[in-house]
Structure formats: structure tokens, C-alpha cells
Amino acid sequence: MDKRVRQKTFSRVSNELRERTKIETDKGELIFQIDSNASIPKGPENKKGEPETFEWISTYLSPGETVIDIGANIGVFSLYAALIPNVHVVAFEPSANSFSTLNTNIRLNGLDESIEAYCLGVSNETKLTKLYMKDSSSGSSHNSVGSSQNQFGQFDVESQQAVLSIKLDDFIMLSKSKKPNHIKLDVDGIELQILKGSKEALKTINSILIEIEGNNSTENLDEINTILKDSGLKEERSWRNKGSRRNRLFTRK
């Protein structure tokens, strides 16, 4: 056996020996690879997770629709959405480690024809920039594209990674993807900037679930609400009290 074959065999066996876990959902079982403590998934019944996001997907997404997951992390919600027949998911995750786990999870569940995953940041400009990470391990959160400040303010940077950041409207134009029907937006602080770069996409979606906490619940809130209102979207205020209470739902009436 030559060296290259041995290396490939070792790599394949190592991947197979990595720890995995499963979560049960109303749409079926999902398998996840555990690459760090932060990459252990939280299922629909886990109150420390976001049961309201599972509920939004189950309630609002219909077969054949397209959903964009901005801040996909290891793919819990992208994978769940892809269990709906013929739903197409476009997932964005800029962290290299989380993106690697995301792609492994897509493969483990046989959903590579339903989910397109991109290692890109999304913002209000299309440019080369950096991802500043409070924690670079797979599944971690509270990192930020373009600055070392998240929704709770300045944070200590463990490491940084070069990334391409893209406006969602530019991505849709360049990729010639179907216009999205729904958007999930959870990026720990730059939600407002992303909305500014998504104004064309916002005109056609049926719903958006957006995380609102920290600065987004104070100084950025009026501008966030204005952009969504001008796009014809209205908040479903009852969702403020669901699950983690971090997410707000806006729908087209």
C-alpha cells in the first residue's frame, strides 16, 4: 500500500471513529458529528436551545420552498428544514471549523442535494474582510464578521480568519439561485448590516426569523423594524415569548 493510499485510509477511519450523536425530530432522526463541546446539537425539546426556531420551520416552510440560513453554525436548523420534501436550503457559515462540521453533518444525513453550504460571511458590503472569533472551536458563537464587537459589545479575540463577506442581494444575483421564501438570521450582532444588504430579497420573502438581543434590542431596533416594515413584513409579537425569547418573527400579510 503506497503512502497516499495509507493516508486516505487513515483519514477515512479517523473520521468514522469520531463521536456522533442523534436527535429525534417530528420529521425524522438527524445525525451529528461532535467535534467540540459547542458542536453538541440541541434538539426541539431542549429548553436551552431554540425550540421556537424548530417551530417556525415546521409551521411556515412548505414543500418546494427555498430558505436561507444565515449563521448556520453546525447546521441543526438547515438539516431540519431539509427534511421537508423538496425544500432547498442555502446555508452560510463563515467559521472554517463550524463549516467543516456543517458539511460533515450534511453528508452524514444524505442531504447534500437539498443543502448548499457556503463558507461566507454575509453583510452590507461585498468585500474581503476578517472573522473575529471569541472561540474558534466548531459550534461556537458570539463571533463577528468585520469587527471584534458582537451584540454585547467588544470581546477578546482568540483568533481571526480571512473571509469573503457578501451582500445577500449580490449572492442571489451571482448564483442565480431561486429567490428565497424564508430567511433565518442569527449572526450575533450584525443583523442590521445584513438586512441593509438584503433589501431586494426582503421584498419577496414570506417570513424572516431574526435574533434580537443586546445592541439589536436597543440602539439598532428601530432601524431593523423600519427596514422590515418597508419590505412589507409585520412582526408576529406572540413569538417574543416563545422558547429562548431571543428570536422575533416577521411575516408578510
Low-confidence ranges of the chain (pLDDT < 70): 1-17, 47, 150-151, 153, 214-218
**How far apart are the C-alpha atoms of 190 and 70, rounded to whole Å?**
11
Distances (CA, A) of 208 to 23, 51, 64, 74: 25, 16, 17, 20
Nearest partner of 95 among 57, 152, 38, 170, judged by Cα? 38
pLDDT in tens, 185-242: 998 778 899 999 999 999 999 999 999 876 666 678 899 999 999 999 999 999 998 8
Note the pLDDT of residue 24: 94
**How far apart are the C-alpha atoms of 245 and 192, rounded to whole Å?**
19
**What cell was used for 184?**
433565518
Note the pLDDT of residue 13: 42
CATH number for the domain running over 43-252:
3.40.50.150
**How far apart are the C-alpha atoms of 66 and 180, rounded to whole Å?**
5
Give the start-to-end residue ranges of the domains of the chain.
43-252
Quick check: helix, strand or coil at residue 162? strand
DSSP letter at 83 equals T
CA angle 138, 144, 146 (to 5 degrees): 130
Note the pLDDT of residue 10: 41
Distance, C-alpha 127 to centroid of its chain: 20
Residue with cell 442565480: 176
